[in-house]
Chains A and B, each alone.
Chain A
Amino acid sequence: MNRNTLSGVIIFVSSLILFVILSYIAVTGGVGKHPSEEINSLGQFFVNNSYNVFNKTFWAGSPEAVTSILWDYRGFDTIFETTVLFISIGGALVLAYKKINWDKLITPLSDKGLTLIVKTSVKIISSIVVLLSLNLALRGYISPGGGFAGGSAYSIAPLLLISGLSIYYITRLGYKLHKMINIRTIGLLGLSIVSLIPLIWFGYILQNQSKPSTVFPGYPVYIGPLYLGGSLIYLNISEFLVVSTEFIIIFLAMFLLLKSTKGEAE
C-alpha cells in the first residue's frame, strides 16, 4: 500500500467517524427537542408579530415573515451580508482586472455561437427568466422571494445568453462591466437612503414601522388601494439591483478572464 492510498483511507475513516458521531448526537437530542409542536420562542415572536393587524406595536407591515426578518427585525445582518458580497466581488475583480484583455471586448471576434435551435431557445428561456425574477423581486414582500432570490435569478439570463450566443452579443445588449458597476452603486445608494431616512425623525437606522419609543411615523403600508408593505419594497428593489448586477459582473469578468487565458495559451 503506497502513501497516497494510505492517507486516502485515513481521511475516509476519519470522515466516517465524524459522520457517525454527528448522527448519534443529532438523533439523541443534541439539537434540542426536535421536531416538536412548538417552534423556537424567537421564531414564534416573528410569526406572531410580522403582520399582526390586531396589535400593531411590533408589526412589520408584511405578511411574509422571512422578508420582514431580513429587512426589519434583523436588518443589520442583511446590510453586513451585502457588505461581504461587495468586498468579495471587489476582491475578485482586483484578481482579474489586469489579466483581462479589454480590447478583445470591442471586436466581434469569430464568435458565431451554437446552432439556431440553441440560440432561439436560449433567447426564449432567458426572457422568461427575466420576467420570473422581476416577479420574485417586486412581490417579495407578500409572496416567497425577495431581493436576493430575484437578483440571483435575473443574473441567470445573461449567463444563458453568454453560453448560447456570445459575450459580444451581451455587450451589444448593454450588459457592459462599467455600466453594471454604476447600477450597483445606484442600488447601494437606495439601500442607504431608505435605511437612513428614519434618522430625520430621530428613529432607528433601518426602522420600518412606528415603534413606541420613537416619533418616526413609519413607511406607508398602503398608498390608496395599493399595498406597499412599508420599507420592504424599496429595500427589495435596491437589493435586487445590487445582487443582480454583482452576479453579472462576476460572470462577465469570469468569461473575459477565461477568454484572455485561452488567448495566452495559443
Chain B
Amino acid sequence: MSLTNILLIYIYFIIFATGGLAIYGIISKNNLIKKIIALTIFGDVVNSLIIFIGYRLVPKPLPPILPSLNPDKALYKLYVMSSVDPLPQALVITAIVINVAVIAFLVFLVVRIYNSYGSIEYDELIRIDRGGST
C-alpha cells in the first residue's frame, strides 16, 4: 500500500469520525445551543468531504484560477491538465451560505424559546410543555 493510499484512508477516517461525533452531538445533547453547534460541525464535515472529492491526483495540482489574463498555449495546457475540480467548490459556497441562513434562523428560534419558557434544556422544555411548573 503506497503512502498516498494510506493518507487517503486517513483523511476519510478523520472526516467520517468527525461526522459521527457531530451526529452523536445532534441527537444526544440536551442543550439546544449545543445541538446547533453540532449541526454546524456536521455541515462543515460534509463540505470538506465534497471539496476533497474534487481533488486531483497530479504531482502539482493548481487552484482553478488561470494565473494570467493573456495566456499562451503552454500555460493554458498546464492549467487544463492540472487544475482541481472547480464544481465542488462552487457548490460548497452555495452550501455554506444556506448553512449560515439556517443557523441564523435556528439561533433566533432558540432565543425566542428562551424568552417564552425561560430554558433551553430539551428535557426541561418537554416537562414544561406537559404541564410542569417553570
Residues of A at under 8 Å CB distance from B? 7-8, 11-12, 15-16, 18-19, 22-23, 26-27, 31-32, 34-40, 42-44, 46-48, 50-54, 63-66, 69-70, 74, 77-78, 81, 84-85, 88-89, 91-92, 95-96, 99, 142-144, 146, 148-149, 152, 227, 243, 247, 250, 253-254, 257-258, 261, 264
Least Cβ distance of A142 to chain B in Å?
Answer: 7
Q: Mark B2-28, 1 if CB is under 8 A from A, else 0.
A: 000000110011001101110110011
Contact indicator A88/B101 (Cβ below 8 Å): yes
Report yes or no: B71 in contact with A53, Cβ–Cβ below 8 A: yes
Residue in contact with A19 in the complex, picked from B19, B79, B102, CB distance below 8 Å:
B19
A48 to B81 alpha-carbon distance, docked (Å): 9
User: Shortest distance in angstroms between B120's beta carbon and chain A's nearest beta carbon?
Assistant: 12
Nearest CB in chain A to that of B21: its residue: A15
Binding site of B, secondary structure by majority: helix, strand, loop or mixed? helix
CA distance in complex: A70, B93 (Å): 9
Let me know if B40 is at the binding interface, CB within 8 A. Answer: no
Q: How many A-B residue pairs have CB under 8 A?
A: 168
Asked whether, in the complex, the Cβ of A22 is within 8 Å of the Cβ of B16, the reply is: yes
B residues adjacent to A (C-beta < 8 A): 8-9, 12-13, 16-17, 19-21, 23-24, 27-28, 53-58, 63-71, 73, 76, 79-80, 83-91, 93-94, 96-98, 100-102, 104-105, 107-109, 111-112, 114-115
Please tell me if the beta carbons of A19 and B80 are within 8 angstroms of each other in the complex. no
Give A254 to B68 CA distance when docked, in angstroms.
44
Contact in complex: B16, A47 (CB < 8 Å): no
> A19-B19, A142-B69, A264-B115 known; A35 and B90 CB under 8 Å?
no
Residues of A close to B70: CB separation below 8 A: 53
Residue of B whose beta carbon sits closest to that of A69: B90
Closest Cβ of chain A: how far from B64's Cβ, in Å? 4
Let me know if A261 and B28 touch, CB within 8 A: no
Asked if B58 and A254 make an inter-chain contact with CB atoms under 8 angstroms apart, the answer reads no
B13 CB, min distance to chain A CBs, angstroms: 6
Assuming the contacts A16-B20, A19-B16, A81-B97, asked whether A92 and B105 have C-beta atoms less than 8 A apart, the reply is yes
List, sorted by A's number, 5 A–B pairs whose CB atoms are closer than 8 Å: A47-B85, A47-B86, A77-B94, A88-B101, A96-B112
Select which of A11, A51, A65 is within 8 A of B27 by beta carbon.
Answer: A11
In the bound complex, residues from chain B placing their C-beta under 8 Å from that of A11 are 24, 27-28
In the complex, chain B residues whose CB is within 8 Å of the CB of A70: 90, 93-94
Partner of A261, one of B9, B105, B114: B114
Q: A34 touching B93 by the CB < 8 A rule?
A: no
> Known contacts A8-B28, A92-B105, A257-B108; is A39 also within 8 Å of B20 by CB?
no
The 5 closest A-B pairs by CB, nearest first: A19-B20, A63-B66, A43-B85, A88-B101, A65-B86
